[in-house]
A and B are shown apart, each in its own frame.
Chain A
Amino acid sequence: MEWFHHQKSGIESAVRRDTPGDLWVKCENCKEIVYKSDWDQTLAVCPACGHHHRFAAREYAALLLDEGTFVEEDSTVAPADPLKFSAKKKYRDSVASAQKATGEKSAVLSGTGAMDGRPVSLAVMDFRFLGGSMGSAEGEKIARALLRGLDRRIPAIVVSASGGARMHEGTLSLMQMAKTSSIIGRMREVGVPYISVLTNPTTGGVTASFAMLGDAIIAEPGALIGFAGERVIRETIRQALPDGFQRAEFLLKHGFLDDVVARKDLKSWISRFIALLTDPVP
């Protein structure tokens, strides 16, 4: 699977290995060949077709926060193996290889920083780490990021990219949905803004908890967002799925997103919205 492959740092494309050296990147969607330096400039968005390619958690932190302001928190929180779970591969080994491949301890990066000078709490899911799935460690990190927002009365932002709750931790993973959502409930009671940013893909138990609970919910163009997986739906109903089904634009049309926002505009959108909610009346 794509996200198990070793990827070091910087902006990566799934097809980069097919191109000579690190000079070129090929768009997954329109196959356009793009200079790596241009690719970095466009934030891994294809300049020809606008397709948003995968972006690592640390890249989002750099994109959304003012330069040099990110302070990472809970960096040593990592998955345990409470069920001693083993599929084709031992869960423990899957975690170890994901840690080695990504250089991250878990599928969530979190911390605080400034957004146009305003302090915020940020958590970003990293799809490269076991498909961004949510186990106990990830649930705990999201929960703490939200709690930092609640306790310090600063806006919390979560950027999601996840296949859903992690199977290897069974019911413990499922309960992370309640753990994270309950804190958002408390934030609503006291009026601390929570912004949810959905990226490709955001599905399953993550969508059915904190990802769909933002005071504002925005998504990157073309992001796959849904509860059930496409294969499961097709096997259940045995009909063709409509064009653009479960894509960000589809959710916008059906009323479940506040807007679809290009990667380059995410920071300004969120920053403006937070100011509109929290700035004192002049």
Chain B
Amino acid sequence: MTMGKGAGLDFEQPVLALDRKIAEMRTLAMENGLDLESEISRLDKKREQLLAKSQQKMTAWNRVEIARRQGRPYALDHIQASFTDFVELHGDRTYSDDPAIVAGFARLDGIPVCIVAHQKGKDTRENIHRNFGMPHPEGYRKALRVMKLAERFGRPVICLVDTPGAFPGIGAEERGQAQAIAENILEMSLLKVPVVVAVLGEGASGGALGIGVGDRLLMFENSWYCVISPEGCAAILWGDRLKAQEVADHMKLTGRDLLELGLIDRVVDEPAGGAHWRPEAACASLKTALVSELRALCSVSVDELVRSRLERYARVGVFLEGTRRGP
């Protein structure tokens, strides 16, 4: 199955052109009763080659674009494809429910787990409802409430990260965006159950980290995770948002970059050209990775789990000390 989504990205145009041609041939074959199968399969093959080739040439900026691309599977797509018995829980019990964060319990390969995830919308109407995946403080507080519930019942937590950032607005500031994120970071570092974090698309700064502290960090190969978006960095350090493409290459924000820096544990492969071309394959790929990480963590004692999580974060950083390079 293939999915041609929207107008597509610049570097995807050759593939989309082939898609149109294949569709035309199919119509032609059907309307005129012609046998064009060999020609169509030749084009299909060419298309696969093009996707594989684009995969190899992908720049960091291309990956950022794919991470944001319409048609990419979001948290609820993964939940639907890979989890069973999903029960969603709403509300922070203090102020309201935040649809930019989805939280609840479900089974993954039979294992009962807690899920906490950013959720973007697939179209304008959905995006207004989900606030483009940008949570308010109540979203982080709901996430924490549900994670503490998971802790009480000994259920591992799976966090699916996909946000352009925590929402920068008046209400968010009035209700303590920073405080909500800070408390989550603190509590997650000590949570007495396994926590597996996977970045699905965008992992923007504190908004991502607010549900992003855990024992294993996974990233899709076309996702990004950084202290600021390339546009934000370009605007502040270059005074020019248009420098974002160039900046993305300097920031070391893709899965492979962060694996090399030792900040994450695993890069999750995507179908050639990106998850949006074959969402079901992308979902399966993540599921396999999550299950294997989860099974490994479930055999570790709680004390050891928390100890090594704290150790992991205590070690993070590269600095100089005297003449020594630390840590």
Contacts and interface: CB of A to CB of B under 8 A. Distances in A.
A97 to B, nearest CB: 15
B318 A136 contact: yes
A246 B320 contact: no
B181 A184 contact: no
Nearest to B316: A175
By DSSP majority rule, is chain A's interface helix, strand, loop, or mixed? helix
Given A77-B319, A237-B169, A185 B190 contact: yes
A175 B315 CA distance: 10
Contacts of A143: 314
Contact of B169 (A174, A182, A233, A256): A233
A227 B238 contact: no
A228 B207 CA distance: 11
A179 interface: yes
B227 A182 contact: no
Contact of A165 (B185, B189, B205, B322): B205
B253 A171 contact: yes
A236 B185 contact: no
B110 interface: no
A182 B319 CA distance: 19
Interface string B216-256: 00000000011110001100111000000001001111000
Contacts of B321: 74, 76-78
Interface residues of A, number: 67
B225 A185 contact: no
B190 A174 contact: no
A205 B252 contact: no
Interface string B181-225: 111011101100000000000000110011001000000000001
Chain B interface size, as a band, is: 35 or more
Contacts of A168: 237
Given A208-B209, A209-B206, 17 more contacts: A76-B320, A76-B321, A82-B318, A136-B317, A137-B317, A139-B316, A143-B314, A165-B227, A172-B318, A176-B317, A182-B186, A209-B185, A212-B176, A213-B186, A227-B172, A227-B177, A250-B174
Interface of A: 74, 76-80, 82-83, 85-88, 135-137, 139-140, 143, 165-179, 181-186, 188-189, 204-205, 207-213, 226-229, 232-233, 236-237, 239, 241-242, 245-246, 250, 254-256
The 10 A-B pairs with the shortest beta carbon distances in the complex, nearest first, are A228-B168, A136-B317, A182-B189, A87-B237, A207-B178, A227-B178, A82-B318, A137-B319, A227-B177, A208-B206
28 contacts: A76-B321, A82-B318, A85-B250, A85-B251, A136-B317, A136-B318, A165-B228, A167-B233, A167-B237, A169-B227, A170-B252, A171-B226, A172-B263, A174-B227, A176-B316, A177-B209, A178-B209, A179-B313, A179-B316, A210-B182, A213-B183, A227-B166, A227-B181, A228-B169, A228-B173, A236-B167, A237-B169, A254-B174
